[in-house]
Amino acid sequence: MQEHRATRLHWDFRLEAAGTMPSWAVTRGPTLVPLEKRLAMHVEDHPLDYQTFEGVIPEGNYGAGEVIVWDNGTWELVEGDDPVAEIAKGKLKFVLHGKKLKGLFTLVKIKPREGEHGEPWLLFKDRDEFSDPTWKIEDHAESVKSGKTLADLQRSRKDAPIWKSNRSAAPDGTAVKRAARRAVATDPIPRDAKPMLTTLVDAPFDDPRWLFELKWDGYRGIAVVEADRVTLTSRNGKDLLHQFPEMKALAGAFRSIPVVVDGELCVLDEQGRPDFQLLQSRDKPDARGQKQRRKPSPVVYVVFDLLYADGRDVRERPLDDRKRLLEELIVPDRGVLYSKHVLEHGKELFHHAVQRGLEGIVGKQRASPYRSARSREWVKIKAKQRQEFVIGGWTEPRGSRKEFGSLLVGYYEGDVLHYAGHVGSGYDGELLSSLMKKLDPLARKTSPFADMPKPNTPAHFVRPELVCEVAFAEWTRENILRQPVFVGLRIDKDAKSVVRERPQHADPDA
């Protein structure tokens, strides 16, 4: 069996019979999960000498792309004694003795769907001692011949063996035509794409036209991943690689490059939950003002959308398609996680988020294109009251507290900064000191707020440039935060973009 990235990623399953190799293209790859069906398109027979090939098929040839020998071994027929005859009947029952695939399998021909071309079959694992309900193909990415993955092969493509089939993909030369189109019509990489933003709504809902994901608590960033260059840019255009240099290795996390992906930089706690305060610890100085020398918390890049892949700008394609392509591209255990989703059942996922103490969920229309703007096609439902605020000043400390007593925060309406309250909890001594170092250079004499009442303790004001995230119980009738708690600074957001979040009615048809 060969893993093969051509027009799309698939696994070529080949069985030696009668001096040739009958072949099937398995779109999602094989599995040892019992009775889990995988579509396998019957394709033309291949020569015996092709079974050991690992390398590159050049454009213009049949199956152009990268190939590795994903598994090999021997096989034996279980029902019947002539494999060619059994294939003609439309069913094969057989045992594999491979390095990865072992035991009893079935291949059965099925009726094509209306408008479907080709000859579809289903491949599945029968129940036996080799069945494994926990088996995942991403845990078995390496070639049994070389130990390389497809991503490894792509990075060393120029040195890889070449296979030329001496024919195009079809009698009409469609592969040659496709290669020619690619040569002249590769889409430009959207290096300056802005993120698609969510609209806050007031309640979870169920709808089959929508998918739902957990809301990841981290720094939003769009990554442009090329063979010799990686950029990772925040919502407000800042370079996130400076703070997270390990993300420079993103080229090894995708099976095909260049790609442009959207996701969230997170630190996960011991239960696998995103922890924004652990993420903040990456930026804390020590007592001497230097970055801490202790090993930083490991950061993962949780990706949830695909903007560009295989030379194509895919932003206009439906979200369902983009997420399917994205999941196929990710190489496991390389610092990138795929943001899984559920279809239709937003209420159940929201209940799960509440039970686990997570921030909330995001709902997305499955047919939505990727728009670099805020949209009702993506919505967020919060399990906790939390949002960003602009820091406009601080009050003097009382008692034994050092540095400052509370932060004075607000939000914008147009060009007007409105006061939202003072945030006096959520700090430790180290955090108070590090925040003060950021506030001092921004000092100003007058209040930046349009409507701040006189504080109970002396106040000092700063230019409204820093953004923080605050958790709180509710808004009072006077539009002041009740029981606010400091969560962390937001380096990924501009102060002018911070507004008061007012949830809209949750309407799947809006």
Of 102, 125, 148, 215, the catalytic one is 215
**Is residue 194 annotated as a catalytic residue, yes or no?**
no
> How many angstroms separate the CA atoms of 64 and 189, rounded?
22
Say which DSSP state 341 is in: -
Bridge partner residues of 504 (DSSP): 201
Sign of CA dihedral 300, 304, 308, 310: positive
Bridge partner residues of 409 (DSSP): 391, 421
> How many angstroms separate the CA atoms of 221 and 428, rounded?
28
Q: Are 373 and 196 in contact (CB under 8 A)?
A: yes
Say which DSSP state 226 is in: -
Say which DSSP state 272 is in: S
CA dist 108 → 11, 21, 129, 344 (Å): 17, 17, 22, 31
Tell me, rounded to whole angstroms, the distance of Cα 361 from its chain centroid. 15
Name 404's Cβ contacts closer than 8 Å, sequence gap at least 6. Answer: 394, 395, 396, 397, 432, 435, 436, 439, 460
Q: Are 56 and 67 in contact (CB under 8 A)?
A: yes
Name 240's Cβ contacts closer than 8 Å, sequence gap at least 6. Answer: 219, 221, 232, 233, 234, 247, 265, 492
Catalytic site positions: 215
